[in-house]
Structure 1
Amino acid sequence: MAAVRHRTRWATGGAALTLALAAVLTGCGGDSPADTARKAESAVGSIASQASEAVESATAEAGRRLDDIRGGIDVKGDVKVGPPTVGSDDRARVEITVDNTDDAARSFAVQVDFTDAEGRLIDTVIVTVDHVQPGDSATATARSTHDLSGEVRAEVARAVRY
């Protein structure tokens, strides 16, 4: 079975957030794809508690960082997302399933967007799933970075296989 790392950290903040993320990830160009994904997760976690007015800016930065994964292939179609639930801790959770359609073991970095009933983006998280064997599937849980209430929806915004 694949080793699954539960990493769900991305949210919000203004220009300082984008600059902080950029500063944390500055050295990613020479790193392995796995190191780049881990650095993206780490940076996401370090800014997860910032103000919510910059979720969209943070989402754009997440997309740029997923683009930085060397040898990464866009595999959004190989990822499925289940229905979100909100737990007693008021955090939304959603199970994602990745299918490795490659002929070698691969890892995945998946960006999950949480939206409200009107479709407004309210949180973004990145989840990694490591070492999925060829032809196998693996699951992970994306968890919102802050309390969410009301109707919460989830969708896969991006998925990169490396």
Structure 2
Amino acid sequence: MAAAALALAGCSDGESPSSVVSRAESAARSVGGEATAAASSLASEASEAIASATAEAGQKLDDIKGGVDAKGSITLGSPDTDSGGRTTVQVTAENTTDSAKSFTVQVNFTDQNGKLLDVAVLTVSDVPADGSGKATARSNRTLSGEVKAEVARAVRY
């Protein structure tokens, strides 16, 4: 697990799932059956993109050999926006063992209602014994509105 940060993508044209859903909702408010069908299609694409990213993140964590659940050893800072417009959050991994360990962490970015907007997976490598290590999770695209971050899963190995 030498990657310092591994990100998962969902929408092919750089749009966030939330922007696809917003377009779908706008189209649904338009008059006519074609707009409603288009809105349903866009909403379905967004849901599929998020489901795919979540499944891929889960698979990456499941593939770690000899890892143990470390969700309780991870803390997140407050979400911020970087110069590229992406949402970032500082991830701190606490290693309470007597040897250096690495942590792979899945961070879910959600809206204020808990709706999943994006998923990022990152590795905090070589955290010293009885020490901590830091890394930054970054969304794969620009997210709009109030964005929250939560640790979905973490594995120490």
Distance 1:5 1:95, change over 3 A: farther
- Of all paired residues, the percent bearing the same amino acid is 50
Distance 1:150 1:6, change over 3 A: farther
- Rounded to whole Å, the distance in 2 between the matches of 1:119 and 1:135 is 33
Distance 1:120 1:11, change over 3 A: farther
Q: Which runs of 5+ in 2 are unaligned?
A: 13-44
Which whole-Å deviations, capped at 9, do the CAs of 1:23-82 have from their partners, x for residues lacking one? Answer: xxxxxxxxxxxxxxxxxxxxxxxxxxxx64321232123113211210011100000011
After TM superposition, the score normalised by the length of structure 1 is 0.69
Letter in 1 for 2:60: R
Which whole-Å deviations, capped at 9, do the CAs of 1:118-139 have from their partners, x for residues lacking one? Answer: 2111110011111111100011
Letter in 2 for 1:76: K
Q: What value does the CA root-mean-square deviation take over the aligned residues?
A: 2.0
Q: Is the 8 A contact 1:8 1:143 kept in 2?
A: no
After TM superposition, the score normalised by the length of structure 2 is 0.72
* 1:139-158 aligned within 5 A: 139-158=134-153
Q: Is the 8 A contact 2:4 2:125 kept in 1?
A: no
1:93 aligned to 2:88? yes
- Rounded to whole Å, the distance in 2 between the matches of 1:117 and 1:107 is 31
Which of 109, 114, 130 is equivalent to 1:135?
Answer: 130
Distance 1:115 1:8, change over 3 A: farther
**Could you say what secondary structure the match of 1:144 adopts?**
strand
Look up the match of 1:12: 10
